[in-house]
Each structure stands twice: as C-alpha cells, then as structure tokens.
Amino acid sequence: MSRHPPTPLDAENVTYRWTQCLVEELVRLGVTTFFVAPGSRSTPLTVAVARHSKARAILHIDERGTAFAALGYGRATGRPAGWITTSGTAVANGLPAVVEAHTDGVPLLLLTADRPPELRDTGANQTIDQVKIFGDYVRWHADLPVPSEEIDPAYVLTTADQAVLRTVRRPRGPVHLNCMFRKPLEPVADDPAGTVSEMVQSWARGDRPFRTSSVPRLAVPSASLHALAAEIEDVERGLIVVGRLDAPSPAVRRLAAHLQWPLLPDITSQHRLGPSAEAVRVAYHDAILASDSFAAQHAPEAVLHFGGRHVSKRLRLFLRDAAPPLRAVVRPDPRRLDPDHRVTHQVEASVDAGADALCKQCSGRDRTAWSTAWQTADRRVARALHAAFRDRETLTEPYVSHLLSQRLPSGHAFVVGSSMPVRDAHRFGAPEGEPVRVYANRGASGIDGTVATAAGVAQARGGSVTLLLGDLALGHDLNSLALLQEHPVVVVVLNNDGGGIFHFLPIREHESFDPYFTTPQGRTFRAAADLFDLPYAQPETPDAFIDAYRSACASETSALLEVRTERDRNRTLHDVLDAEVISALERPEADDEV
Ligand SMILES: Cc1ncc(C[n+]2csc(CCOP(=O)(O)OP(=O)(O)O)c2C)c(N)n1
Ligand SMILES: [Mg+2]
C-alpha cells in the first residue's frame, strides 16, 4: 500500500493544520530561523517549528532578548527571522526591538499567540489586548482568527506571503501576525474536517510557496538625478556622507573618486573600517571636526548623503552650520532623515543605482585642492592618534576601540553598543584593519538588547562576532549571555562603572549628577561570566588585551573580556586627544604633499 509522504495538511487537528501550513509556507519563503520563548498559548506555533525539519529554533527565556536576537539576525541577513511568543506581557516585551526594527528598517516577523475572542476582555488569565499592540511601529498587522475548518488554509498561506513581503519591501521592517488559538493547544487527534481547496492540496504536495511576491526594484528617478547631476557638475567643495548601509557600496566609492569629493563614512556604513581602494575616504572625519578652524575653512557647498543615519554629532552640527545650498539624501526609504531641516533634495533610490547614475552623468575630476586638504587632515590625524595611543600605553576606552578595529579577524562582524562604544569606534577606529561588517542599534539608539542583537548576528553568520559595549548596556541585557552558547561571540565590556557618556553632557556640572545620571553599580562581570559558562579575562595592559582578544577569537566558544576604566579620566582623555588632533592639524608636516 503506498501512502504519500506526510504534508503540512496531515495534522492532528485544525489548529495544527493551520500552524503547519504557516510554518511550511514561511520556510518555503526562506524564513527558517525562529527565536522562541517558552509559553503555553504559543504551543501550536512552537510545535510546528519543532516538527519542521528545515526550521531552526533558538530557545531563550526572555522575549525581549529573543526579539533583539531576531533583530540582529535580520540586520545580518536582510531577511526576517520569526519571533514566537505566548500571550500577555510576553508580547509587550517585543516592543523595544520592534521600535528599533521599524526605525532602522530591519525585517522582523512577529508571531504572537493570543486567546480566542470569547476570552478577550473578560479578565481571563494572561490576556491583554494584543491587536495592533505595536501600533505604527509595524509595516503590517493581521489578527488571525481561531483556526477553523470553515476557512480554507489558503488564507493562512497568503497571509504568510503578505507578511514576509511586507518585512522586506522597502522600507523594510517588522510585521505582526497575532494568532488566536483555542484549546486544546497540544497536537491531540481530532481529525480535521472541512474542505481544503485543490490549490492548497497541490501546494502541500509541492515545495514552492503558495504565492510568490516580487519586490519592485526601485526605479532610478532619472529626471531628478539628472537635475541633481547638473547642479553639482561644477562644485569642487562637495562631500559624500555615507550613513548606515547593509553592505559596502562600490558605486558610492566610485562616485567619490570620480568627483574627488571626500567620502565621510559612518561606523555602520561598512566603509569606515577595513581597506578602501580609493584615497578619498576620510575615516577620521569625526576626530578632524574637533578643530573649529578646520571646520570653518572647509564648509562644503554640496553634500550627497547615501544610506541611513550617521552617528557623528560633530558631523551633524558641522553640516547644520555650513548649511550648504545643496544637500541630497539618497536612500531607498521615503522617510525624512533631516533633524536640522537642511536637506534640499530627497531621492528615493537604491544607494548603488543612485550613485551609479550620478557617476555617469557628472564629469570626472583629477585631484583637487579640496580633496587633498581633507586627505592631508586625515593622514595627520591618523598619525597623531596612533602616536597618542602608542605613547600612553594604557588601556583606555578610545584605545580599546582603536586596537579592536585593527585586530578584528577578516570577515568578522563587529557589533557596537550605544553610548560611548559606538562613538569611540567611529572616532578612533583604525581604518587599516581587515574587511568586517559593523552593526549597531542606532535607529533608536537604545542601550537595551545589545547582547541579544550580537547573538542574533552570530546565529545568522555561524559565529565570528565581536561585541563592544558598556557596563550598563551589559547589565541591562545580562540574561542574553545565555544566548551565546551556540555560536561564538567575543564580548568586550568597557566597565567604567556607570554611564560614561553623561560626563560629556552639561549635567555633569550639576549637583545631582552622581549618582542619578552615572548610576554606578560597583560590580565586575566575573561572576556573570561564571554563571553563563563563559571564559573570562580582565586584561589591564594593551598587550594583555591583545593576547586575551586573540585567544578568545581563536577559541570555538564565546568569551567575556572586561576592561576597567574610569569615567572622569575617560572624559579628560577625550579632551586631550581632541587637543592633540587640533595641534596636528595646525602643524604642517614634511610629507603632507604626497
Ligand atoms: C534603553 C535605554 N535606556 C536608557 C538610555 C539612555 N542612556 C544612553 S547612554 C546611557 C549610559 C550607558 O552606559 P554604558 O553602557 O555603561 O556606556 P558608557 O556611557 O559608559 O559608555 C544611558 C542610560 C538608552 N539610550 N536606552
Ligand atoms: Mg559605562
């Protein structure tokens, strides 16, 4: 007797018919990784994932962590991971990651379990209003009814199709499927009746998605780019700013070299660290802009901004004050990226296509005095910073950023936490290291979920991640260290015993500064490393740090390296480094002309 191999329709009951169809369709669409937290109402989703041979479940107890891990996965792959939770406050714990995914355009698929209608608003246990709970922070939302034999599962399939489409269609972002389930939640046999359309039956026997969706390739707005090209044709004093990008853009690099406009790369632009073929990159622009006189003499007449946000406050203020008559933002996102209201052209186009089109329409240039001035400044500052670090030989926060950027292994992902780590990595990172990818949650710049985000990046890449973060950020997401078991992440925590960033704000002059803003915790993380089975080291010198980092990278497991620093001294050191940069910029050097 020949029986066909089991299909998603071979389910114990209608609930499982639906969730098996849902998971099968997601897997066929390439959503194969699910971050799952424990719960009862979500049983039909969890079991359907557990049963699927091509679905991978990553289990963790904290929904805030699983949501951030799914966010990290989406950042690293450009595809959504599934986030599975039970009902109630578990769902609400997804909000921080959803906000970040929305703000920074990261695909994320939220699958939340809910009670059936007769239990809503009745005081039933663990029941809250989950409908549209994420508000405008999701690209799309569907409140799926209780699985029913009266509804053809084709409904479930096209809902999955639509959900995935809306996570990846620009602007990418989170999508929420709220799934009502009625008991029994377990796969108890109750042969589902009801008709299943021939289309669904044929889908079940095959291996293709029920519906394929095509995401439109953004047309290049040729007329506006043509006009833009004409406006910049004669501009020598132009700058190219590169904000957050998923991957390096050779087209942007080519355009910068073609126009001889200095390229100012954000730390998350994938152009700031690692080799660059063209000399126009000004990696140390944030340090350079410490010099008011340099800034005053180098106000641009035009700026082309490619990609998302840029970390540097100095750059923002410099461009705000320079107020160039032409400032264009080119990115595949219609949302405003202009806190100072200075943007004159918003071009909704893919970064590569936009840069390519401009390159074709503008005449190329040889080196100009303008580009030489920026490159000379970059070289002088690089030299000054290298010397400053070498001479001091103490393990400071800026030095850790600098050392790490030089030693990240090729192909590594570098995840940087909000607050000073991302700023220091941007300002002091050395551009001469290996090619790496850099990720940071700078959409909404929270210090939450940083460890989980790195864990999600590691899941996507099978390891090879270094995470640099502050002590409060680590404390905030401590339980996510449990997520680092499967794929190695080297965690470097800068423990300055509180929020070092507040020393850079005017509140430091006021009496309530300490402890209300700094919030010192007086702890080391040694015991936490023990609790989560992570090898631990607390290097005290640059050499010891390099050794510890090297052996952590070489090992197959995650590790925690703790660097102790002092907030007051850190603030002073930043001022001293600024002064050294300024003096290097003002002191002509013999080999300036190269
Ligand atoms: C979720 C969240 N809560 C609060 C803040 C405000 N905040 C910004 S930086 C910071 C201090 C971070 O301290 P730490 O991680 O130790 O980094 P450091 O400032 O010492 O570099 C805080 C509380 C935030 N950005 N996100
Ligand atoms: Mg700190």
Q: How far is the CA of 544 from the centre of ligand 2 (A)?
A: 21
Q: How far is the CA of 499 from the centre of ligand 2 (A)?
A: 4
Report pLDDT digits (tens) over 505-562.
999 999 999 999 999 999 999 999 999 999 999 999 999 999 999 999 999 899 999 9
Do the Cβ atoms of 478 and 528 come closer than 8 Å?
Answer: yes
Question: Which element (helix H / strand E) includes 74?
Answer: helix 63-77
Options 3.50.50.60, 3.30.1360.170, 3.40.50.1220, 3.40.50.1110; CATH of 222-377: 3.40.50.1220
Question: Which element (helix H / strand E) includes 581?
Answer: helix 567-586
CATH class of the domain comprising 14-205: alpha beta
In angstroms, the CA 389 to CA 163 distance is 50
Residues with CB under 6 A from ligand 1: 418-421, 445-448, 470-473, 496, 499-501
Probe residue for ligand 1, chosen from 64, 95, 472, 495 as the CB with the greatest number of ligand atoms within 8 Å = 472
Q: How far is the CA of 471 from the centre of ligand 2 (A)?
A: 5
Please say whether the structural domain 393-583 has been given the CATH code 3.40.140.10. Answer: no
Domains of the chain by residue range: 14-205, 222-377, 393-583
| Beta partners for residue 65, in sequence order | none
In angstroms, the CA 84 to CA 66 distance is 8
pLDDT of residue 2: 42
Residue 214 neighbours by CB under 8 Å, 6+ apart: none
Helices (H), 282-435: 285-288, 292-297, 313-322, 351-361, 369-392, 397-407, 420-428
In Å, what is the CA distance from 387 to each residue of 212, 380, 390, 391? 57, 11, 5, 6
Q: Characterize the bridge pairing of strands 82-85 and 108-114.
A: parallel
Do the Cβ atoms of 110 and 177 come closer than 8 Å?
Answer: yes
Q: How far is the CA of 232 from the centre of ligand 2 (A)?
A: 44
Residue 505: count other Cβ atoms within 10 Å of its Cβ.
12
- Exposed e or buried b per residue across 298-309, where buried means at least 16 C-beta atoms within 10 angstroms of its C-beta: bebbbbbbbbbb
In angstroms, the CA 157 to CA 93 distance is 27
Location of structure tokens 């937290």: 37
In angstroms, the CA 417 to CA 214 distance is 35
Do the Cβ atoms of 144 and 159 come closer than 8 Å?
Answer: yes
Do the Cβ atoms of 278 and 256 come closer than 8 Å?
Answer: yes
Instruction: List the residue whose alpha carbon is closest to atom 21 of ligand 1.
Output: 420
* Domain pair 14-205 / 222-377, same fold: yes
Probe residue for ligand 1, chosen from 95, 98, 447 as the CB with the greatest number of ligand atoms within 8 Å = 447
Find the angle CA(171)-CA(176)-CA(181) to the nearest 5 degrees: 165
Residues in the chain predicted with pLDDT less than 70, given as ranges, are: 1-4, 590-594
Q: What are phi and psi of 177, to 5 degrees?
A: -110, 110
Q: Which ligand is nearest to the CA of 495?
A: 2
Helices (H), 417-512: 420-428, 450-461, 471-476
Q: What are phi and psi of 571, to 5 degrees?
A: -60, -50
* pTM of the complete model: 0.97
Q: How far is the CA of 494 from the centre of ligand 2 (A)?
A: 6
pLDDT of residue 522: 96
Instruction: List the residue whose alpha carbon is closest to atom 17 of ligand 1.
Output: 470
Probe residue for ligand 1, chosen from 71, 451, 478, 501 as the CB with the greatest number of ligand atoms within 8 Å = 501
Residue 513 neighbours by CB under 8 Å, 6+ apart: 502, 507
